[in-house]
Amino acid sequence: MIPTYNEKENIEKMLPLLENEVFPKIQNHNMHILVADDTSPDGTKEEVEKSIKKWSNIHLLEGKKEGLGSAYIRAMHYAMNTLNAEAVIEFDADFQHDPHDIPRLVAAMDQGYDYVIGSRYIKGGQIPKEWGLNRKIKSFFGSLLARIVLFTFSIHDMTSGFKLTKTSFLKQVDLDHLISRNYAYKLQILFEIVLLGAKVKEIPIIFYERSAGKSKMETNDIYDSLKVIFTLRLRESMRIIKFLFVGGTGFVVQIIVQESTIRTGLAIFLAMLVSSIHFPFLNVQNLGAVSNGIGAGFGAEAAIVSNFLFNNFWTFNDTRHLKQTSPFVIRAIKFNLASLLSIAIQTFAVYLGVRLFGENISLFSHSLPTRILILFPTIIFLVIPLNYIIYNMLIWKTRYLKHDKKTSTH
């Protein structure tokens, strides 16, 4: 895919070069060129049309000038839906990317990678020597900031415009609702592809100075990029914030249901029913204890149900348009099992704590119940993180927490 705006001089050299010198080196794939021109006034389109007469694997998509992202999104839809491409390559027309690097990207895909980045910031990569210090600093620190905010440390070049993407991954990105339709579109696609668990590979490229024509990069592209990376970070963090908030509401629901079951007399009614049954090892004759226990059980299950519903329809609702790995009922059962696990952990932690320290621990000359002191760290450091991981990886499993381990560089 080659987006063009006033690239006549470049595209007239680029297309024959790709056809005559580059594509013959890629024997095992059927290569196509898709030029996305935004009605350039300089006659880029006519130049492309000339080449189309000569080579049938060149395609031209025309559109209004609405930003680089817009042109690419159009091209990606066309490549996926009309050309049924297995992979797409983002590539500039202006010879800043060496067309002879294309076979190296394709070779990396053939080795099994899903997302291959032509990287200027790994060993062997390079940015134009001619660039002023100001431009070098902006490019390098821009990439570094994006890596830090998006936690994509394993990727060194976040803003490279030269990359290969398997369409099996690209199809899962919601291209029509990207935050930016300009230059920063690429940051979001990269982030989402990484979250989807793509196998990522960076290969070094030398980024040359533009050969002819003018750059279309605008100064407000910097603000656009900042907006994209911070919006993405906030979106991802929203999930943790919502998860913690739901946990808090669950506690309130638990107390309300527990108390109302006990205070309305429902618990004592059920306790009387239960006590008419004779269990072999259980003394269920103590109505007070049994009804309190029943109330607590109702409260706990009410909290489990309400937490499940809030998490399903709110905390993790951004995963709904993606393929869920399990249906609603299975998710509900898994959630209950995960909750039982939390109860088991807390039971065991309290048991262990009391065995080790006795029923009370004296702290600042106060005697405090061990069970309370043990529960705080257990819940904060064990139960909450564990639940969050279980929810993401086993219950609402779609795309989260699947990144980085499969990401490699060099």
Ligand X SMILES: Nc1nc2c(ncn2[C@@H]2O[C@H](COP(=O)(O)OP(=O)(O)O)[C@@H](O)[C@H]2O)c(=O)[nH]1
Our CB check for Mg ion shows the closer of 104 and 210 to be 210
Distance CA(108)–CA(89), nearest Å, equals: 12
Distance CA(184)–CA(164), nearest Å, equals: 17
Residue 324 CB coordination number (10 Å): 17
Our CB check for ligand X shows the closer of 210 and 371 to be 210
Question: Considering only 38-46, 90-98, 286-294, 395-403, which stretch makes contact with Mg ion by CB under 5 A?
Answer: 90-98
The DSSP result for 249-288, as a single string, is: HHHHHHHHHHHHHHHTSHHHHHHHHHHTS--SS-----HH
User: Is residue 215 part of the contact set for ligand X (CB under 6 A)?
Assistant: yes
CB of 71 to ligand X, least distance (A): 3
Our CB check for ligand X shows the closer of 4 and 339 to be 4
The 54-93 contact track toward ligand X, x by CB under 6 A, reads: -----------x-xx--x--------------------xx
CB of 222 to Mg ion, least distance (A): 16
Q: Which of 164, 46, 158 is nearest to 103 (CA)?
A: 164
Our CB check for ligand X shows the closer of 94 and 114 to be 94
Distance CA(169)–CA(87), nearest Å, equals: 9
Structural element, H or E, at residue 17: helix 8-17
CB of 148 to ligand X, least distance (A): 22
Our CB check for ligand X shows the closer of 104 and 210 to be 210
Q: Considering CB under 6 A, how many residues would be counted as binding ligand X? A: 19
Position among 137, 148, 212, 217 found at the interface with ligand X (CB under 6 A): 217
Question: Considering only 91-99, 221-229, 300-308, 352-360, which stretch makes contact with Mg ion by CB under 5 A?
Answer: 91-99
Contact assessment for residue 331 and residue 311, using Cβ atoms and an 8 Å cutoff = no
User: Is residue 6 part of the contact set for Mg ion (CB under 5 A)?
Assistant: no
Q: Which does 5 bind (CB under 5 to 8 A by kind): Mg ion, ligand X, none?
A: ligand X
Angstrom distances, CA of residue 338 to CA of 199, 275, 308, 393 = 30, 30, 11, 12
Question: Considering only 72-80, 207-215, 239-247, 389-397, which stretch makes contact with Mg ion by CB under 5 A?
Answer: 207-215
Distance CA(155)–CA(137), nearest Å, equals: 18
Distance CA(384)–CA(247), nearest Å, equals: 9
Our CB check for Mg ion shows the closer of 93 and 190 to be 93
Distance CA(89)–CA(125), nearest Å, equals: 18
User: Is residue 139 part of the contact set for Mg ion (CB under 5 A)?
Assistant: no
User: Is residue 101 part of the contact set for Mg ion (CB under 5 A)?
Assistant: no
Phi, psi of 239 (to 5 degrees): -65, -45
Distance CA(69)–CA(74), nearest Å, equals: 9
Question: Considering only 35-43, 97-105, 333-341, 398-406, which stretch makes contact with ligand X by CB under 6 A?
Answer: 35-43
Which residues are near ligand X by CB under 6 A?
3-5, 7, 36-38, 65, 67-68, 71, 92-94, 96, 210, 215-217
Which residues are near Mg ion by CB under 5 A?
92, 94, 96, 210
